[in-house]
Amino acid sequence: MTIYPPANVLVQKKACSVNPLKSSAPLGAAMAFMGMDRCQPLFHGSQGCTAFGLVLLVRHFKEAIPFQTTAMNEITTILGGIDNVEQALVNVAKRAKPALIGICSTGLTETRGEDVAPELRLIRQRNPELQNTAVVYASTPDYVGGMQEGWAKAVSAIIEAFVPARNQAAPLTPIRGQVNILAGVHLTAGDLEELREITDAFGLEAIILPDLSGSLDGHVPDTYCGTSYGGTSLEDVACMGASVATLAFGEHMRKPAEDLEAKTGVPSRLVLNATGIEGCDRLMVMLSEISGRPIPPRFRRQRSQLVDAMLDAHFHFGGKTVVMAAEPDLLLAYSTLFNDLGAVIPLAVSTVSTPSLQRVPAATVQIGDLEDLELGAKEHHADLLVTHSHGRQASARTGIPLYRVGFPQFDRLGSAHRATLGYRASRDIVFEVGNLFIEAMPNHLLRHGHDEHGDHSVHHEGACGCPGTLEASHGCSHSASC
């Protein structure tokens, strides 16, 4: 493991972003809204933004995505789009009867400087059709930040709109064992399932906001549903003030956590990273403190499995050169894990400069795009590229294998279920990536060299460390020389 000083974060100097790493902020917000129960995300902007966002989410999740648009055109943009918002709300409420409509603005409406939030109350008063539909608005101009930032703004907006402020005179009685979890965009549906199991095991009842594991976990509902089907309910959101603690996952959830704490007085803690052994350990200790219970045996076992995985895999990670590109909090998760195992990260590329990047164990952190990643990969003779599916072109051109992480992953199945959080998921990642390294190994090394290192230490019997009896189990095929 290399100990790096706080990373040197280089700003982007190019005028032209080539092969963008970033997706847009409104898309992040809309995805967060998809983690709300029976929700209809609505883009306030021109139709194209919605269509692109929708297609990208469909390709990633392989699920129907019910995004709608306020259908702004040039004229309505100049004159102001409140009428369009009103019409859209009424139409959506009538047709899909959602519990919640989550509006996110776009570059177009923000450039004109339109503020929708104050109008919403008036719109509701004018339209009784909206009686049973809650509405929330997040301001997410396309030209500020990426998905991570948009996601965080949507979560803040939900907290602002639906969590009741603490009543000083009659504060809520905290519900024992109830905790809030503010999930960052870097966590998958699979992560949230994992997290729920973990908190359950500590006897904690978690309200997860937003909860993609309820809606975009790829299940088959019994009836047709035109909104999100599952996710955090508004009732749950309203109860968040009665929790004993809030855990916010990812630096980008710091602001929503502060908002929630300011409003409710529920103390919050930040989990910067829960991938890799140290991050998991910290999470365990935190949950143990909050619940007042010891860490359950099953996690002790899982930790031990992770340790063993790291022991077996370090042969393959050690000295490998890896370049990666991801949004800051996801980047922190993966880079930490890789660095733990001895991989060297000469270059990590990210979307926006945030405090998380300071902690990324890489020689250089560049705010940039996948061209930067590709050039860096060539310059440093990388063994592995780590980024989302758009890295496939760089991988094809350079011949360097690609390990897909984050969003979007449109050329893989099951991306929503791949977890990164906790001992168990960390162990699986170690194996997956280790296997990629093994696969890339030249055949002669495979037969006589590194891949049997793990066994050398244990059964040092044959000349090549390959006892005949173990052949079948570890795939050694050179029995003649044993």
Partner 1 sequence: MLKQKLADVFNEPGCEKNQAKSDKDRKKGCTVKGLTPGAAAGGCAFDGAKIALQPVVDAAHIVHGPIACEGNAWDNRHAASSGPELYRMGFTTDMSELDVIYGGEKKLWKAIKEVIAKYDPPAIFVYQTCVPALIGDDVIKVCATAAEKFGKPVIPVNAPGFAGSKNLGNKLAGETLLDYVIGTEEPDDARPTDINLIGEYNLVGELWQITPLFDELGIRIRAGITGDARYHDVACSHRAAVNMLLCGQAMMNVARKMEERWGIPYFEGSFYGIEDTSASLRTIARLCVQQGADADLIERTEALIAREEARCWERIRSFTPRLQGKKVLLYTGGHKSWSVISALQEMGMEVVKSSVRKATDSDKSKALELMDGDAEALVGAIPNPEMYRMLRAGEADIMLSGGRTQFVALKARTAWLDINQERNYAYAGYDGMVELVRQMDKAVNNPVWQRVRRPAPWDADFTGFDA
Query: Which region, left, alpha or beta, applies to residue 276 given φ > 0 means left and ψ of -120 to 50 means alpha?
Result: left
Q: Which does 220 bind (CB under 5 to 8 A by kind): ligand SF4, partner 1, none?
A: partner 1
Residue 108 interacts with ligand SF4 (CB under 6 A): yes or no:
yes
Residue 52 interacts with ligand SF4 (CB under 6 A): yes or no:
yes
Beta carbon nearer to partner 1, 264 or 366 = 366
Residue 104 interacts with ligand SF4 (CB under 6 A): yes or no:
no
CA distance 239 to 178: 9
Q: How many CB atoms lie within 10 A of CB 277?
A: 19
Smallest distance from ligand SF4 to CB 73, Å: 9
Q: Which does 431 bind (CB under 5 to 8 A by kind): partner 1, ligand SF4, none?
A: none
Q: Which residue is nearest to ligand SF4 (CB)?
A: 48
Residue 49 interacts with ligand SF4 (CB under 6 A): yes or no:
yes
Tokens, residue 456: 């050398």
Q: Which does 439 bind (CB under 5 to 8 A by kind): partner 1, ligand SF4, none?
A: none
Of 224, 234, 49, nearest to 142 by C-alpha is 49
Decide: helix, strand or coil at residue 74. Answer: helix
Contact between residue 381 and residue 365 where contact means Cβ atoms under 8 Å apart: no
Q: Which does 18 bind (CB under 5 to 8 A by kind): ligand SF4, partner 1, none?
A: partner 1
Residue 171 interacts with ligand SF4 (CB under 6 A): yes or no:
no
Residue 56 interacts with ligand SF4 (CB under 6 A): yes or no:
no
Helix (H) or strand (E) holding 372: helix 370-379
Beta carbon nearer to ligand SF4, 77 or 305 = 77
Q: Which does 144 bind (CB under 5 to 8 A by kind): ligand SF4, partner 1, none?
A: partner 1
Beta carbon nearer to ligand SF4, 141 or 210 = 141
For the chain, the straight-line distance linking the first and the last C-alpha, in angstroms and rounded, comes to: 34
Q: How many CB atoms lie within 10 A of CB 378?
A: 14
Q: Which does 90 bind (CB under 5 to 8 A by kind): ligand SF4, partner 1, none?
A: partner 1
Interacting stretch for ligand SF4, rule CB under 6 A, among 1-9, 41-49, 288-296, 336-344?
41-49
Smallest distance from partner 1 to CB 422, Å: 29
Which residues sit opposite 138 in a β-bridge? Answer: 104
Decide: helix, strand or coil at residue 111. Answer: helix
CA distance 41 to 295: 39
Beta carbon nearer to partner 1, 92 or 134 = 92
Tokens, residue 114: 């339109």
Amino acid at 278: E
Residues that bind ligand SF4 (CB under 6 A): 46, 48-49, 52, 107-108
